[in-house]
Structure 1
């Protein structure tokens, strides 16, 4: 590692990186990819502002003994009911301010909806995004974020490399014949990893409900439910996100659609 930054050390570092065969090249994103990722970032910022506003309104009303039910969709109706109630202790000046905050919540939600509509327009004209959304747990946000952030999954040598790039594989600290695996590395794009794990949680819950109702479950859902019973919901969700990432790579590599009952004919390589 070079301590000082100069033109000489920059040139030497670039030359060393070019000589090293272990460093993979990173494709340059197109303007369209950058635009889609910018939409995702703006939506996340709007969502954070909406959450902060909701929490602020909840806290203010709680001081006056008014408790809002859980759920962002219930906030507006609950606050309107509190504002229309003349028997509570809310001062008139505060009522006006809370009304303005409700208008802000409506504007934030409307802006988020507009961004989602633009993402839908992008996904509608992208065949790979459409194919991604065939996979349980992969929705509009995950599909478009993958396409914009990663591009073609063919840049990875295998699905395992893609899952490792996302930080969904265990951190390893081994020596000799002693192998020690820890928690997931959490390297790579944290936003993509978040979307995949949240999608895996939803897919796991859906599989659990199908099993409870006596409805048929596919091979992947059976594997996930069995794993959940053995190691718990959270670890099973991360493992399912890992498997989902690897299946996405296989779908793009082989040009096939999602099959929940697919059985890999290639034996697992324990050395990778």
Structure 2
């Protein structure tokens, strides 16, 4: 039988703050526990609703508590923050979670599986290596430019021609060894990123969800695996519009009374996932432009993107197309259908 108590947990690395509220939401117990004490605490309690902030280690503890029979809710950090009163401390944060749990309008964060977190970890590692690679290439460009040598545009080209340029007599001997080390580091980073991509390909080969989403134009291996890892299931969103809003691809609304203003995209949610979708939308739009110039027929999605570009501009059309791609991906994923660029035309017929 589930307890009428609600347990709020403020997570940390070594010290856990716990607040227990009764059926009237009054805090009747407070505990400050170490990691071992924290586990013992739940081993000795009957199952009850547990509220935690969706932060570091929350998904791990969510899975652990679920196996013990507790009903776990993960509250988004930005939703719990307004309920904290006065000074910020662990006890105040736990009390804020109790208050946030009473708000039925707050949408919980689904507890991620270990596999989802593993795929997200691969993406984060690759993104960090990508940022380091870009920094090393920029460093290489700057140092060579100081010696009067310009590297051609393009990361792949820069790495390919760098050793030859470093051997130029205008580069001091004392600098050459260090520059060659930078080139070696860049190539090592590229090899590591390829290894991560190979691991993602193996995951995609065994995931029907990833394969289904990859049918959508502009969504490749990275975007599809990142989307499945972040979302888990399309059932976590009411429809594709809510998924696009969760990724920050819908306009910001401001106004009062009868005056409403739609601004730029909200840029809320997962920034990495939004970046991947926008890059994919840009490639779809460019492909549509190439097809139009070549006199090739455009499907309905491409024609919609081209018409929007004519009415606004390239960047606005790209963001709007990214929004549409997110909604299409949800529909393909949720309904188990193959992508059709003329889907709406087929329905109208």
* TM-score normalised according to structure 1 size: 0.92
In 2, Cα distance between equivalents of 1:189 and 1:73: 28
In 2, Cα distance between equivalents of 1:9 and 1:69: 56
- Residue 235 (structure 1) aligned to one of 309, 316, 324: 316
Q: 1:1-272 residue pairs with structure 2 within 5 A? A: 1=83, 2-4=85-87, 9-10=92-93, 12-85=95-168, 88-263=169-344
Confirm or deny: 8 A CA contact 2:167 2:176 kept in the other structure: no
Post-superposition offset of 1:265: 9.7
Q: Which has the higher contact order (CA 8 A, sep 6+)?
A: 1
Q: CA offsets, 1:182-234, max 9 Å, x none?
A: 11111111111111101100111011111111112100000001111111110
The gaps in structure 1 that reach 5 residues or longer are 267-272
Per the alignment, residue 25 of structure 2 pairs with: none
Confirm or deny: 8 A CA contact 2:136 2:182 kept in the other structure: yes
SS in 2 for 1:98: helix
In 1, Cα distance between equivalents of 2:320 and 2:270: 17
The gaps in structure 2 that reach 5 residues or longer are 1-82
Aligned pair count?
Answer: 264
In 2, Cα distance between equivalents of 1:12 and 1:46: 39
Larger radius of gyration: 2
SS in 1 for 2:264: strand
* TM-score normalised according to structure 2 size: 0.72
In 1, Cα distance between equivalents of 2:205 and 2:263: 40
More helix by share: 1
Query: Could you say what the CA RMSD is over the residues aligned between the two structures, in angstroms?
Result: 1.8
Post-superposition offset of 1:17: 2.8
Confirm or deny: 8 A CA contact 1:154 1:252 kept in the other structure: no
More strand by share: 2
In 1, Cα distance between equivalents of 2:239 and 2:327: 8
SS in 2 for 1:263: helix
In 1, Cα distance between equivalents of 2:288 and 2:253: 31
In 2, Cα distance between equivalents of 1:113 and 1:12: 46
In 2, Cα distance between equivalents of 1:228 and 1:24: 34
Post-superposition offset of 1:44: 0.7
Per the alignment, residue 269 of structure 1 pairs with: none
Confirm or deny: 8 A CA contact 1:119 1:140 kept in the other structure: yes
Change (3 A) 1:140 1:6: same
In 2, Cα distance between equivalents of 1:186 and 1:32: 27
Post-superposition offset of 1:10: 5.0
